[in-house]
């Protein structure tokens, strides 16, 4: 709290005029970070095909994690208060990076560009793709951060996943 107050040129006690606790401040930072991630993904160029759009979304997501590494780790590492927990995947869709990802994959299905194996659902595919993006981002930020060509490897993994989705 002292360091945060110092960085924004406030007194530690002054922060408590706006926030009841350190966790409340972190919750606010997480909410703002999620909004920034969603904004960056929303700006991803749509391209001529859903596959191009999906790659641009993935690239924007990974770029956000790379460019805002501390914020990204806070977003996915901070435990919200119980009221901030996501209770369903539908909650993720509204105004979020996950929602843009779902819209893109749904668009690809409607255009006949993406196909699934029998028994698979849109939600399974969207969640799987999001898990891939999150995994690639976290690996890059943690264990694989010293691998020189990790960004190129991540882009190859992203392209491979899109190719599988296109010919499932």
Q: pLDDT tens digit string along 76-119?
A: 887 766 665 555 556 555 558 999 999 999 999 999 999 888 88
What pLDDT is stored for residue 167 in this prediction?
Answer: 76
Distance CA 76, CA 117 (A): 30
Q: Which residue has the higher pLDDT, 147 or 87?
A: 147
Q: Specify the pLDDT at position 134.
A: 94
Mean pLDDT confidence for 47-73: 94
CATH numbers and ranges of domains, the chain:
21-167 (1.10.357.10)
pLDDT score, position 82: 64
Tell me, yes or no, if the pTM score tops 0.85: no
- Beta-carbon contacts of residue 116 (< 8 Å; ≥ 6 apart): 109, 122, 124, 125, 168
- On the 0-12 / 13-18 / 19+ scale of CB atoms within 10 A, 156 is exposed
Is the pLDDT at 148 greater than 80? The verdict is: no
Identify the pLDDT of residue 65: 94
Show the tokens assigned to 69: 């590494």
What is the pLDDT, as a whole number, of residue 61?
96
User: What Rg do the C-alpha atoms of the chain give, in angstroms?
Assistant: 18
- Check residue 75 and give its pLDDT: 87
pLDDT (0 to 100) of residue 146: 67
- Model confidence pLDDT, tens digit, residues 11-51: 877 777 777 777 888 888 888 999 999 999 999 999 899 99
């Amino acid at each position: 709290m002292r360091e945060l107050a110092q960085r924004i040129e406030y007194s530690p006690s002054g922060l408590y005029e706006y926030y009841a606790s350190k966790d409340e401040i972190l919750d606010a930072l997480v909410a703002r970070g999620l909004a920034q991630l969603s904004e960056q993904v929303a700006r991803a160029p749509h391209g001529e095909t859903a596959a191009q759009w999906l790659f641009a979304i993935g690239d924007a997501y990974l770029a956000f994690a790379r460019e805002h590494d501390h914020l990204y780790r806070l977003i996915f590492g901070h435990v919200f208060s119980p009221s901030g927990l996501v209770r369903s995947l539908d909650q993720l869709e509204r105004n979020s990076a996950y929602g843009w990802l779902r819209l893109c994959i749904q668009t690809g299905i409607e255009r006949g560009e993406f196909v699934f194996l029998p028994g698979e659902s849109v939600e399974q595919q969207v969640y799987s793709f999001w898990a891939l993006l999150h995994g690639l981002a976290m690996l890059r930020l943690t264990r694989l951060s010293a691998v020189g060509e990790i960004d190129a490897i991540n882009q190859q993994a992203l392209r491979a996943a899109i190719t599988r989705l296109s010919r499932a």
